[in-house]
Structure 1
């Protein structure tokens, strides 16, 4: 396992809430970070600037993670600029909501393309290119257990992410690479807050014993653990939701 100061992480969705917090948190451990973005280059550049101004190492790389050629460019950039890849943190995803009876199948297909195919593409590349001692951290969601209405397409995609994660952990036997999924609960990110009334947000926040939404930084702490010292956690879906029932 490479030392923390020589480790390199790719964070997909690194311009978003949990992705950005994860990139910043990993950088505090001395890990070089490739900050991936799809459309928000400005936000990704801000994340890189925050890391580098703090003495860390980071670059921004754009692309569609469900496109194997564009996703490959992430790994190429990590190897070119930092010498290799040790950690994949795959936070990128989309979450359009609708009751199943009203669900547009084109929207369903888009969710599966980004969330399921995207996971399979980056996990495939990570399985080929991560160094020994590495970690693959996918993102599921607590909605797979909480089953809230309107989340059918999203929950289906995250159930698939969990299956991919557990199978890959076993396929990488002997490689000294851990593969886990983090399943956040309701977290105060733009993706989660969009379209929700203050009353609904308060109701959701009160569904866990802490009486608040999670923060991206709460989730980033779990990422840092699995990316670093959590070597005996493997093939698991880790629920990081404050005890939401």
Structure 2
């Protein structure tokens, strides 16, 4: 499939992914005893006029959060005001590891170079108003199964869900993994290299029988090396 055609098709998948979400049992709750290890994964909450929203996201430096570009866009795809965004790390039934308001965020220039979002660049780095007292997750470059998915979804908004057995491979500029996701998982980390898991991508869209993932690219790596070299390989 030509890259331009793929961008158009996958953009439609992104918009209508919630029409056929995966069953909740496909994304089991993370065991409570494992929760402390994954407290760097949290909820990026949105509150604006007459709306609320939630994406998953991951801390990759004490004051930097990795998520999807469409998670920092409003309903009309215009940039969300940073003051409407808030990150809560390790949210668990009303308790959390730490939290902070969002000071700013950045997306790759290619993400909105055209009218619609190009999901091959559907990533965002969110700068928090203060560093969090939570150990960030490392970023890796070795893209090979098994992959792991950790995040929140609409059937389990107050507790992390996870899979650590996802098959998958590169598919053009994206990674396609066999584990399905639900609304709310968008922006959450996809990891590889277990048991020493490292973030290799960000969830962008649901497709039949699986999930499309944007790999961590040079745009992200350059910013991590500049601001937080200890989280990058």
Identify the TM-score tier after normalising by the shorter chain.
under 0.3
Per the normalisation by structure 2, the TM-score is: 0.28
TM-score (ref. length: structure 1): 0.27
- Taking CA–CA contacts closer than 8 Å with sequence separation of 6 or more, which of the two structures ends up with the larger relative contact order? 2
Q: Which has the higher helix share?
A: 1
Query: Which of the two has higher C-alpha Rg?
Result: 1
